[in-house]
Structure 1
Amino acid sequence: MNQDARTLTLDEIAERLGARLEGDGTRRVSGLATLRDAEPDQVAFLANRAYLKDLPGTRAAAVLLAPGHAESCRVARLEMDNPYLGYAGLSRLFDPLSGRTPAGIHPTAVVADDVRLGVEVAIGPQAVIESGVELGDEVVIGPGCVVGADTRIGPGSRLHANVTVCHGVVIGARAILHSGCVIGGDGFGFAHDGARWHKIAQLGGVVMGDDVEVGSCSSIDRGALGDTLIGDDVKIDSQVQIAHNVQIGDHSALAGCVGIAGSTRVGRHCMLGGGVGLSGHLTIADGVQVTGMSLVTNSILEPGIYSSGTGAMDNAQWRRNAVRFKQLDDIAKRLARLEKAGRSG
């Protein structure tokens, strides 16, 4: 970002974040950086104790931190009980995309005659908006995007370059769809006659709530009959696959490379770590956290933290453990016989 494009005083930052300022509120800053890299015209933050060692020597104009870390800070302080949440707000203050994109339709865009546009809509170069589409106020459609027929996109939503939204999709307000993601592609549905596969037409759609964000190159498939449902405030990382008729509850978050098979229901406030796989037709309760690289093959009906798989280890040790794993059933049977013999004796 051009550091001259936006400057704020520390007083203005404190007011917008709801932070308590200790220091010169008239000092102006123009950016955000780490404790180690910050310049005197930037704000730094401390949200992880691992970086506490960098606090005394920072050159930042001010540091956003928790009150308990104030003693080691030698510059102005912006104190908040949850500094990581404050960092999220601070980052948006200096985000070059946070300003309004100039409204208008680029001359190379193709927009059907019956498309309904809200006020201040921006449609970029080479975008294609098909018949029956409705775009809400201040929607931004990036270069090369395709929005399929009869799709509705809520106000304040932004599609970055080369997003594909297929026909009959409903997207709520303030959605952010990153480059390369596909919303509403066909689900993986085929019937086999013993010799070859026959495609099952996917007749449902995708319905997304408000404040949803989808990372680059992620896919959310349309339903086979009913709709695939994504709740409000769901956050989906890059390269995630969500199959047909999946339902994801409000405020859940999915890290990179998660894969969810068809018709599985994920509850509210769930967190799925990177590389998690969920089998089809499962139910995951509200408040479930599944750690990275876990495979879930049965429903989880109680909130909590769940894990599967093993961490990386020396190959020779892994090979020995793999042999022992194959022996577990025999060991369990032998142990049961010994316990039974012990009780009989």
Structure 2
Amino acid sequence: MHNHHSNDSHHGHTHGHEHNHVHGHSHHQHLPSSEGNRKGLTIALIITASIMLLEFFGGIVTNSLALLSDSGHMLSDAASLLLSLIAIGFASRPASPSKTFGYLRFEILAALFNGVTLFAVAIFIMWEAYHRFLQPPVVASGSMMIIAAVGLLANLASAWSLMRKGDVKNNMNLRSAYLHIISDALGSIGAIIAGLLMLAFSWYIADPIISVIVSLLILKSAWGVIKHSIHILMEGTPSSLNQDAVREALEGIAGVVDVHDLHIWTITSGLDSLSCHLLIEDNQDSQHILQQAIQQLEERFQIQHATIQVETSRIHHQPLKV
């Protein structure tokens, strides 16, 4: 009886330790960064929207595709920054009985949408450039370069505010917004180079050629965002983790016979989740093994959100479909 009781209190302690640690970690990890992400995005949005208007009217006045496409790009940037801001707001909403993970995935949906709009912008610029190849119009290159230079400075300021305040490297939502701004900066650099060539040599064909080069660079980064977002939405294993290595680590715990039904997926940027079944030898202390498994996952693989089902040979279940 006493033995049963101590085992029970051990279980309560383990569970409590795990729960508090997980909760404490996610609380600590997501709030400060989301506040920084929000600030960075807001500053970037204000800068982008202002310059978009300048470039749009500038493009009309100077008849430059490079500028007009840049302002169209800025419009998609402003929309993507706004969407990313909305996504952060959604992601911070608490979980509910119908949405047990809350709205954390909304950030991944925003990233996917941003990737798709980047793709669409690049294709549109190429289409416009094709028409200009056939008939290069005259462009007021001097004014165009001044406006493009202002646009470039604005992009760099936006990118800097995102990098300084937000987590551009690991947050998928923020990364997609950041890529919009960087691809926009490329557009501005392209417009400046095209302006120089037109000013020096009257090569009006430089306008569409450089627009196409910039579009190809945009397509490359957009494809990366789309691929990564779809991988997360398809519950793919996080790229930073190797499932075989996780399986080996768990099977290496003394008393574990085998690991099955192992799934690792990403809920949102910076929050990985795992579930598995551990088959253990009948005479082993299941709570002790569970505690070791929790520690291994946390220390070696930084997985704090783990659900582990411990089984002995007496447990039988149907073969699982996935």
Same topology, TM > 0.5: no
Give the TM-score normalised by the residue count of structure 1.
0.20
Higher strand share: 1
Give the TM-score normalised by the residue count of structure 2.
0.22
